[in-house]
Amino acid sequence: MSRAPAIEAVDVSRTYQLDGVSVPALRGVSLTVEAGDYVALIGPSGSGKSTLMHLLGGLDRPSGGRLVIGGREVGTLTAPELARLRNETIGFVFQAFHLLPRTSAVDNVALPLVYRGVSARQRRERAAAMLGRVGLGHRLHHRPNQLSGGEQQRVAIARALVTDPTVLLADEPTGNLDSTTGAAVLELLERLNGESGVALVMVTHDAEVAARARRRIAMRDGVVVADSAAESGSTEVADGGAGA
């Protein structure tokens, strides 16, 4: 039996009010992110990809259209319900890591589990296990300033995945890393995508990074102008894998 889509957007728009003027950031975007997808979201600055990323992560609500995350329609949820949906469904990885500077790696990773009501002992056990999966089982008690940039991003990835989300949203995850470290982080994300079936949606300006994804969605002026899955079907997916 096929699984329901992880995220479904139908004619989604987002308009901001700036000094009394309506500024459209998204102008009717429709797309589906399936369970286990590996998507690169590309486009120039101002194309709307960051706005779309915020919507897909439940950090904002659309002005129009229909957005369904984890089987729940975002427009029908209260603020606490939307926060709970984010915590249960979405993992976030950012370019700037966003780790608590005076907190150990294991406690940084355990933080999302606090909002789940998980006991302190279980939080640390699950966080330690996830750090082991990303190759940092020997760095549990190190603070961010004692870790390299690549290690900090691995901590951020472990934190994003410790809640077993169905979607991992990564915003320029290699942007602050050198090319060798960035490649290692991408390989880790791809391995976790393959092993756990978490859908990976990645915003990137880097054509080489985008080429690794099985699916590429290009945006311009608030609309989707190309989607490799829609254009070429299974051939594009098969040809656009990690070895591309």
DSSP 8-state class, residue 146: G
User: 164 phi and psi, to 5 degrees?
Assistant: 55, 55
Handedness of CA 54, 59, 65, 67 (dihedral sign): positive
Handedness of CA 95, 101, 105, 108 (dihedral sign): negative
Mean of pLDDT over the chain: 89
Q: Is the pLDDT of residue 90 over 60?
A: yes
* 3-state class (DSSP) for residue 208: helix
List the structure tokens of 228: 């490799």
What are the residue ranges spanned by the domains of the chain? 7-239
Q: Is the pLDDT of residue 154 over 90?
A: yes
CB 201 within 8 A of CB 168: yes
Q: Is the pLDDT of residue 39 over 70?
A: yes
DSSP 8-state class, residue 147: S
| CB-based contacts of 95, cutoff 8 Å, min separation 6 | 171, 172, 173, 175, 176
Question: What dotted CATH number matches 7-239?
Answer: 3.40.50.300
Give the whole-number percent of the chain exceeding pLDDT 90: 75
User: CA 118 from chain center: how many Å?
Assistant: 23
CA distances 88 to 31, 139, 161, 166, 168, Å, are: 21, 26, 10, 8, 12
Give the span between the Cα atoms of 130 and 91, in whole angstroms.
13
The pLDDT assigned to 2 comes to: 54
Q: Is the pLDDT of residue 42 over 90?
A: yes
Edge-to-edge order in the sheet of strand 64-69: 21-33, 7-18, 64-69, 72-73
In this prediction, residue 33 has a pLDDT band, given cuts at 50, 70 and 90, of very high
Edge-to-edge order in the sheet of strand 38-42: 90-94, 167-171, 199-203, 38-42, 215-220, 223-227
Nearest residue to 177 via CA among 156, 197, 200: 156
Least confident of 11-15, 42-46, 144-148, 216-220: 42-46
* Cα dihedral 198, 199, 201, 206 in deg (nearest 10): 80
Q: What is the DSSP string of 131-145?
A: HHHTT-TT-TT--GG
pTM reported for the whole predicted model? 0.87
- Element spanning 227, H or E: strand 223-227
- Element spanning 104, H or E: none
